[in-house]
Structure 1
Amino acid sequence: MNHRQHKLTHTVFFLIALFTPLYSHALSTLSPENSGRLFAIKGSNTIGAELAPKWVVEFLEKKGAKSIQIRSLSKENEYRVTGKNGEKDIYVDIYAHGSSTGFSALNENEADIAMSSRPIRNNEVKLLQSYGDMTNVSAEHIVAIDGLAVIVNKHNPLIDLTLKQISDIFSGEVTNWSQIGGANQKISVYARDNNSGTWDTFNTLVLKNTKQLTSQATRFESNDHLADRVAQDTSGIGFVGLASTSRVKTLGISDQYTSPLQPQPLYVATEDYPLSRRLFMYTPEKIPLPIVEEFIHYVKSSEGQAIAQQIGFISLNPISQSAPEDMDGPDEYLSLVKNSERLSINFRFRENSAQLDNKAKQDILRLVSFIQLPQNKNKRIQLIGFGDLKQNNQRAIVLSKLRATTVKSALYDHGVITDAVVGFGPFMPVASHIGSGKSKNQRVEVWFYDETQRDINRFATR
């Protein structure tokens, strides 16, 4: 077997493991320590309030456990998922008090998995270095995508706001809705607490870690409790994860030089929406518990991702959407995507690097599996690169093509042939070209199409 055959064989088995549901089998791997606890999960309330308990329930069911229940513990946002392995009681504990608490719990050996709605910080990587490199793909697990929704009462007439307007409101520089085109009414500000990854994401993306949250803000540990307050307050504004938006109105958000986007599934999944974010689970890189590894595998499987979607988050399973008729962009871009469908995968890269980031490495495998589905056998893939502003547009275009070529090469290594890459440099930004927006604009879109339809389109445009 040559190197390429070996790599393809390894990929096939990996894809089977990644996308095949976890079937029930003997419960020897559910044998806990004397206490009956299989493992503990601590951290983000966004993940831990509903999603993590549901994942644990479904995982234990797949493993054959019986009499499974979710019980609330003595403190709010703490849960125990219980079940029976034969006659033996087993359980998994979930403590959802904010992302920072998950990393502290890992360090103190009080948890096996840290839930986080933000990437691990440099000081936390250093704190946990005895566990290995916590930024490695074997330790950092992207488990879903969430959109940080800016919410108002359903009676508020506003439709969208800019990131600057939101920043001005939450910092206290704007205190009345009339200052931004609304009613003459004092603004009530609601925010998550300091332990929350939701707060950390908002602080980074909106307040830019330079402005202070207004002292008039009311703080909440729970997304749902915050949303309930906004639903009752016609002057209220807050921010929550997508799963907590059913009772309120979400606002479209725009960044500098970009069009307003609502937190719709495709825009959140591609991370084009300005306040999209990744949800993480972190496990020790060095010798994690086998049952924990198996649970993480289930969470990232197509079945686990379907549960995330049911609850209100954005699944990592690829979805597609036809190009809207009113799309803006260069003529060549519009010609390429006409009669095509855009996939919910945007490939992004490590900061200041041409290397695919951890999500992109997994998305390569997801795309390979997706394109090999029977219904996609006659489809072709078009990769389109974008970038940030450089000294001149030509350099930006070249670099955007190189990023698309990186993705093309990774897919080729797994036996998937794509069309010639195209790059459009700094055109069609999804974020400001400064700060964190710079790396967000460095992306590769994935479009797929029926070859016959593309030929018809090219003939029609001659």
Structure 2
Amino acid sequence: MRRLLSPKALATLAVVTLALHGVTAHANEMEIHGSNTVGATLAPMLVSGYLKQYTGEAVRTEATGRENEQRILARGNGKALEVLVAAHGSSTGYKALAAGQADVWASSRPVKTREAEEFRNRADLTSLESEHVIAIDGLAILVHPSNPVNQLSIDTLGRIYAGDIRNWSEVGGPDRPIKLYARDDRSGTWDTFKSLVLGKKYALAPSAVRYESNDQLSDDVSRDPSGIGFAGLASVRNSKVLAISEGDAPALKPNQLTVASEDYPLARRLFMYTPGSADNELVSGLIDFALAGPGQELVAKSGFISQNPIAVRPEFDDSVPDSFRRLTERYDRLTVNFRFAEGRTKLDNKAVRDLRRVSDFLAQAGKSADDLMLIGFADQQSNELRAQMISELRALSVRKALAAEEIPDVAYTGYGHYMPVGGRGSQRNGRVEVWVRAR
């Protein structure tokens, strides 16, 4: 006898079937699900900016009646357009994309290997067509404004959140118990903190208070002299931000240069993922808008770090060698680093798009390839000669990529394994900095 499926099983089968065929099971013209860091302010700003450009008409935002959800409304081509932004955490966004309920997955962490493999039959989420870095964020470590502690190492921060360090007096602060504030398990902010700070060495103390909202966490820390928390850079609000160090590298505070270049130990990328090249005109248009200049200007207005390069004169501390000061004395540094896909020699997805951004910067600033200098760096190597060779090869690789963007014969050099920005073995140490001749 043939077995009948229950209504619940039939509903599940329908969602799976839709997902396998890449069909969205929703009424809105576009749905964005995922990260609260992205979805609370940034995604609605990008959607509003794009819809205004797309329709030439006024755009409005309204609440849906559910916490951390917004609907952006406009009219285009004679019909109403509705875009839903649901910001319940990065993991919820992946599940919605996989189930065909979302057109765009907003995430404050990169796609996990398991997720990419699960999605492989539809699209490669690690490809340039699917993975879109829309902003750079610094995971800010927050304390009460009256707290005299100014900096912590990543390891000390891990011990605090594991409950091994329980009083501020143990790290140079007042004799006061430490109260832990943390994002919830569905959050990409939590995934980033867990990966970069706790790792496999520490587990979060059960006493930590958990939050779905970055802003609410920050507000509560700013009212608690015992508190410590972490949130996206756009949610610092009234809290004090600590400088963070990794290994023997100097402690850095998150700012325009340290975060945009990803030198700051807790810098992270904010993503939008789509299942390959989008067939939905609104989706592809939104992605193009978000990655281009106008979209990146909205990124900056939202409190995150734009990927539009600017020239900055760094403030060198005592750890910077005299030889490096002489090398760069007539140059400013662009707020972009070229990095490579992990375990590979090719540039990662962000770096591929940054090539065009550097070209656009030169055109807008009235400069040429002759005004650029690339400086490559390597992680700690067994000997100085090997480190020098690796750093020069990295710089040469970027030089060749820039030549393909019609920026030929850029000056380049390597600086070996000196001036690390992370601990030994940190992938962030292997980078190519871009310097531009000052006027």
TM-score (norm 1): 0.87
Q: Is the 2:55–2:77 Cα contact (8 Å) retained in structure 1? A: no
1:396 corresponds to which of 384, 387, 399: 387
Shift of 1:286: 5.2
Q: Aligned pair 1:214/2:214, yes or no? A: no
RMSD between superposed Cα atoms in Å: 1.8
Runs of 4+ in 1 over 4 A off after TM superposition: 33-36
Partners of 1:417 and 1:286 in 2: CA distance: 30
**How far apart in 2 are the matches of 1:54 and 1:243?**
13
Equivalent in the alignment of 1:170: 161
Correspondent of 1:111 among 83, 102, 107: 102
1:235 aligned to 2:226? yes
Distance change (3 Å), C-alpha of 1:157 and 1:319:
same
Q: Which structure 2 residues correspond to residues 61-140 of structure 1 after superposition, within 5 A?
A: 61-64=52-55, 66-85=57-76, 88-140=79-131
Partner of 2:17 in structure 1? none
Confirm or deny that 1:261 pairs with 2:252: yes
Q: CA deviation at 1:332?
A: 3.0
Distance apart, 1:377 and its partner CA: 4.5
Query: Which structure 2 residues correspond to residues 316-355 of structure 1 after superposition, within 5 A?
Result: 316-324=307-315, 326=317, 328-355=319-346
SS at match of 2:139: strand
Task: Give the distance between the partners of 2:341 and 2:55, measured in 1 at CA.
Answer: 40
Distance of aligned partners of 1:286 and 1:51 in 2 relative to their CA distance in 1, 3 Å threshold: closer
8 Å CA contact 1:329–1:427 kept in 2: the answer is no
Measured after TM superposition, the shift of residue 388 of structure 1 is: 0.8
Which of 343, 349, 369 is the matching residue for 2:360?
Answer: 369
Distance 1:232 1:108 in 2: 40
CA distance in 1, matches of 2:26, 2:56: 17
AA at the equivalent of 1:126? E
Q: 2:430 aligns with which of 423, 442, 448?
A: 442
SS of the residue 1:408 aligns to: helix
Alpha-carbon spacing, 1:35–1:219, altered in 2? closer, same or farther (3 Å): closer
Structure 2 counterpart of 1:171, one-letter code: A
Give 2:349's aligned residue. Answer: 358
Distance (Å, rounded) in 2 between the aligned partners of 1:246 and 1:396: 42
Write the distance in 2 (CA, Å) between the matches of 1:233 and 1:94. Answer: 31
Q: For 1:106 and 1:414, how far apart are their aligned partners in 2? A: 34
Q: What are the equivalent positions in structure 2 for 1:421-460 lying under 5 Å apart? A: 421-434=412-425, 437=426, 439-450=427-438
Aligned-pair CA distance for 1:214: 0.5
* AA matched with 2:305: I
TM value normalised by structure 2: 0.91
Cα distance in 2 for residues equivalent to 1:237 and 1:282: 31
Q: What is the DSSP-based 3-state SS (H/G/I as helix, E as strand, rest coil) of the residue aligned with 1:421?
A: strand
Give the Cα–Cα distance (whole angstroms) in 1 for the partners of residues 314 and 167 of structure 2.
38
Listed as ranges, the matches of 1:220-299 within 5 Å are 220-285=211-276, 287-299=278-290
Moved more, 190-199 or 51-60: 51-60
Q: Relative to structure 2, which stretch is displaced further, 245-254 or 377-386?
A: 377-386
Instruction: Give the whole-Å Cα distance in 2 for the aligned partners of 1:381 and 1:416.
Output: 10
Structure 1 376/94 Cα, relative in aligned 2: closer, same or farther at 3 Å?
same
Unaligned 5+ runs, structure 2: 1-23
Change (3 A) 1:288 1:441: farther
The one-letter amino acid paired with 1:274 is P
SS in 2 for 1:206: helix
Return the offset for 1:63.
1.3
Paired residue secondary structure (1:253): strand
Q: Secondary structure at the match of 2:220?
A: helix
Does 1:410 pair with 2:398? no
TM-aligned CA deviation for residue 374 of structure 1: 4.8
Q: Which residue matches 1:6?
A: none
